[in-house]
Structure 1
Amino acid sequence: MGLRERKKHETRAALSRATIRLSLERGWDNVTVEDIAAEANVSVRTFRNYFSSKAEAFVAQYLDRMLRVADDLRARPADEPLSEAVVDAVQARFSSEPDANDGYPRSREWADDIRLMLTEPDVQGAFLRAGMLIQHELAKAIAERTGTDLMRDVYPNLVAAATGAATTVAMDHWLSANPPVEIGPLLREVLDRLWVGLSAPERDALTYEGSLGEPL
């Protein structure tokens, strides 16, 4: 990455961090684009050059991190099994507990605030759009690695969609876990379960019942 691109990346990250920090401190409706720009020491015009809305800036850190998973997947050894490559690529981007400097909560209180913020319709919509972009880019990387075609084969899109869903589940559990857990090992557990076919945990018996009252 050249100097110009690195500075652009740093500005984008600073704006996203400022959006998260101010929104959690003041509440979503009490933060303006002007507030965010001032916090990041840039102009409102600069903010508009990077983001179309507060919500887009809020999810940018997550989006950028997950897009780098696709780049990491492309860089992994060609003879590595796809399951190992995907799991390791995702986990590497969440290898340590996130902190405030990375735009993520640094304490359980911040985690609770993040969960509350995700109930905002604008933020939910931005996360949905980000998820679609992440899935597309990850599917392209998987297609390249497996020699499949995005237009003809469902496999790369299926793996990308399942990986994204598993990552979301892990993040949601990390935000609400009591006692707290580390995100890295949690992600590996979730993704490992995915790759073995989501095998059910061992139980003495299933407790769900069908419409006639019979065990399923």
Structure 2
Amino acid sequence: MTVASASPATGGLRDRKKLQTRRALATAALRLVAERGLDHVTVDEISAAAGVSSRTFFNYFPSKDDALIGDQGLDGARFVARFESVPPETPALTAIRTALADVIEEMQADRELWLLRMDVITRNPALLPRLASVGAETERAMTEVIAARVGVPPDHGFPSLLTAVTGAALRTAMVRWAAAGGARSLPDLVGEAFDALAAGLPDPGPTPLHQSRTTS
């Protein structure tokens, strides 16, 4: 279905304004919680910091927690759609890596906000159940589309295993990225993780520092 009632310019401007407001609310929420802690920030304070009303806040996010964790559900749905668009002859692991590429580049481009988000989530474990809930929804969807791609039922072990290991690879890369304060490129770190998966996780060679310690 296409929407022909609005001109591209009008629709584009409206979408940009909505995106700007959504980003302003998320940024305000993250900065206030980083400064004060999760229990000491209200929706009213987030809204005021973003220059909008509390009513406007709830047009964009159902709760304070959702503003903090961001558009994880939307990002997950976009990722699943990108995965489904990869040519069917592409092996599933490669297809996941291909589908992730744009998402990872967007995260790298929005580096400061994502690093702040990861820091806030790490320091406020009460956010983890909501994050896990959203992640579980994406994993269920991924398991189904992987099963369809490779021609097995959803309860086959392969789709769930591939979803789990690629999710772990992405999380590992993101944790390393955050620990280094974004000094390394997130696409490079994700690439390293997926290269290791594709190679069957062979033992890495010792790093020069570790090698010098073991031989001294």
Q: Same fold (TM over 0.5)?
A: yes
The alpha-carbon distance between structure 1 residues 196 and 32, as it changes in their structure 2 partners (threshold 3 A), is same
Residue 20 of structure 1: aligned partner: 30
Task: Please say if residues 33 and 54 of structure 1, whose CA atoms lie closer than 8 Å, have aligned partners that are also in contact.
Answer: yes
State the 1:184 CA deviation.
0.5
Picking from 85, 92, 105, the partner of 1:95 is: 105
What do the CA deviations read for 1:89-110 (whole angstroms, capped 9, x no partner)? 1132112624368x323xxxx5
Counterpart of 1:83 (choices 73, 79, 93) is 93
**In the alignment, is the contact (CA less than 8 A) between 2:69 and 2:121 conserved in 1?**
no
The correspondence of residues 53-68 of structure 1 with structure 2, limited to 5 A, is 53-68=63-78
Which region of structure 1 is more displaced relative to structure 2, 63-72 or 40-49? Answer: 40-49
| CA distance in structure 1 between the partners assigned to 2:63 and 2:114 by the alignment | 19
Which runs of structure 2 are paired with 1:2-17 in the superposition (5 Å)? Answer: 3=11, 6=15, 10=19, 11-17=21-27
Rounded Cα–Cα distance in structure 2 between residues aligned with 1:178 and 1:47: 30
The answer to whether 1:182 aligns with 2:185 is: yes
Please say if residues 86 and 98 of structure 2, whose CA atoms lie closer than 8 Å, have aligned partners that are also in contact. Answer: no
SS at 1:77's partner residue? coil
Report the 3-state secondary structure (helix = DSSP H, G, I; strand = E; otherwise coil) of the residue aligned with 1:133. helix
CA spacing shift, 1:173–1:12, aligned 2, 3 Å? same
Select which of 156, 176, 179 maps to 1:173.
Answer: 176
Residue aligned with 2:173, SS: helix
Aligned equivalents of 2:148, 2:119: Cα separation in 1: 35
Deviation, structure 1 residue 176 = 0.5
- Per-residue CA deviations over 1:69-120 (Å, capped at 9, x if unaligned) read 211111112222222211121132112624368x323xxxx5xx84354231
Q: How big is the shift at 1:9?
A: 6.4
Q: 1:75, 1:176 → 2: CA distance?
A: 33
Give the superposition deviation at 1:183: 0.3
User: Does 2:61 align with 1:48?
Assistant: no
Change (3 A) 1:179 1:61: closer
State the Cα distance separating 1:19 from its structure 2 match: 1.9
Aligned to 1:213: none
TM-score (ref. length: structure 2): 0.74
Structure 2 gap ranges (5+): 4-10, 207-216
Q: What stretches of structure 1 move > 6 A for 4+ residues in a row?
A: none
What do the CA deviations read for 1:148-186 (whole angstroms, capped 9, x no partner)?
322x32222221122112111111110012782110111
Is the 1:22–1:36 Cα contact (8 Å) retained in structure 2?
yes
- Deviation (angstroms), 1:142: 1.6
Percent of aligned positions that are identical: 30
Among 186, 196, 200, the alignment partner of 1:193 is 196
CA gap 1:166/1:67 in 2 versus in 1, 3 angstroms? farther
Return the alpha-carbon distance in structure 2 between the equivalents of residues 139 and 17 of structure 1: 32
Taking the aligned partners of 1:129 and 1:145, their CA distance within structure 2 comes to 25
Amino acid at match of 2:53: S
> Pairwise CA RMSD of aligned residues?
3.1
Superposed displacement of residue 38, structure 1: 2.7
Question: Is the 1:18–1:36 Cα contact (8 Å) retained in structure 2?
Answer: yes
Deviates more, 1:85-94 or 1:177-186: 177-186
Q: Which blocks of at least 5 consecutive residues in structure 1 are unaligned?
A: 204-216
What TM-score, normalized by structure 1, do the two folds share?
A: 0.74
